[in-house]
Amino acid sequence: MTERVRRAGGLRRPELVWGYVFILPSFIGVLCFTLFPILASFGLMFTDWTLVGQASFVGLDNFTRMLRDDVFATALRNTVLYVLLFVPAVAVGGFLLALLMDRKLRGIALYRTIFFMPSVCMFVAVAMVWQFLYQPSTGVFTYYVSLFGIHPPDWLSDQRWAMVAIAIVGFWRNVGYFGLIYLAGLQSIPSEFHEAAAVDGATAWARVRHITVPLIWPTTFFVLVIAFIEAFQLFGEPYVMTKGGPGYATTTLVYLIYRNAFEGFKMGYAAAQSWVLFAIIFTVTFIQWRLNERRSRGLGA
């Protein structure tokens, strides 16, 4: 018996070696393009480096500079505004969209595909199309808004509306993705709960409120975490549609980091800002996890 096990282990050893060989390119890619840049940026945030020459150690000067940087404060405020616009919209919109897609209709698979397609489109193409739709005189979006008697603003040139316009694009591009996640959560709820509630005379709204919403909370928690992380990393739409303008109205933290690093060549300052962004995302995600654990313990009690 021992000899048989030893032979079996010997047969598996070449397979194990070949398994390591096959994952080696991916491991090298992660090491070179993920882990090494993370460690390098950690060291760079304490330096002043312009991509050429020798990096000079400046200690915490980059962080004290951030505290006095009005542009950084504006970018942080814009990012928080986008988070407040984007996260509730995609969470509620994705849930409502999932309720519509969770129906036994003819061709429902086609409808689900149509709603999901924007989330797999390249953000550059999406941003360019919406930039055309937002044109003040010829834009289709502007035209349909005017049909309701609303005088549409110059969406991308008005500081009050530019971030709202970008949030609308983000909602349109991501609501199908989060709706698909919610749909998977809805289909995991046993139908017996709804059938028993219907027999007791519960209305459709009562079933959604008292059965669907509580039971789908793990999916909602996942959606909120992913939406928060994605919102804090907004870059593509401001880069393509507004270049961070008008003024600094759509300059987000990631876009500011890009400008400092690859336009201003302030690599140390950009690295410090990126670690501040990481700290913000980590803190928000940690708070969400703790609140979810507290809620789970309360329900368990």
Per DSSP, the residues of 226-273 read: HHHHHHHT--HHIIIIITT-STTTT--HHHHHHHHHHTS--HHHHHHH
CB-based contact 92:85 (threshold 8 Å): no
Q: Are residues 182 and 34 in the same domain?
A: no
Q: Are residues 28 and 73 in the same domain?
A: no
Q: Is residue 67 part of a domain?
A: yes
Q: Is residue 52 part of a domain?
A: no
Model confidence pLDDT, tens digit, residues 227-253: 999 999 999 999 999 999 899 999 999
Threshold 0.85, pTM exceeds:
yes
Q: Is residue 50 part of a domain?
A: no
Which residue range(s) make up the domain with 31?
2-44
DSSP secondary structure string, 175-187? Answer: HHHHHHHHHHHHH
Q: Are residues 167 and 102 in the same domain?
A: yes
Q: Which residue has the higher pLDDT, 65 or 139?
A: 65
Q: Are residues 193 and 109 in the same domain?
A: yes
Model confidence pLDDT, tens digit, residues 265-274: 999 999 999 9
Q: Is 91 helix (H, G, I), strand (E, B) or coil?
A: helix
Report the number of distinct structural domains present in the chain. 2
Q: Are residues 157 and 24 in the same domain?
A: no
Q: Are residues 83 and 229 in the same domain?
A: yes
Model confidence pLDDT, tens digit, residues 180-209: 999 999 999 888 888 898 888 888 889 888
Helix, strand, coil in percent for the chain, rounding step 5: 75, 0, 25
Q: Are residues 115 and 170 in the same domain?
A: yes
CATH number at residue 131: 1.10.3720.10
Q: Is 292 helix (H, G, I), strand (E, B) or coil?
A: helix
Q: Is residue 100 classed exposed, middle or buried when 0-12, 13-18 and 19+ CB atoms within 10 A define those classes?
A: middle
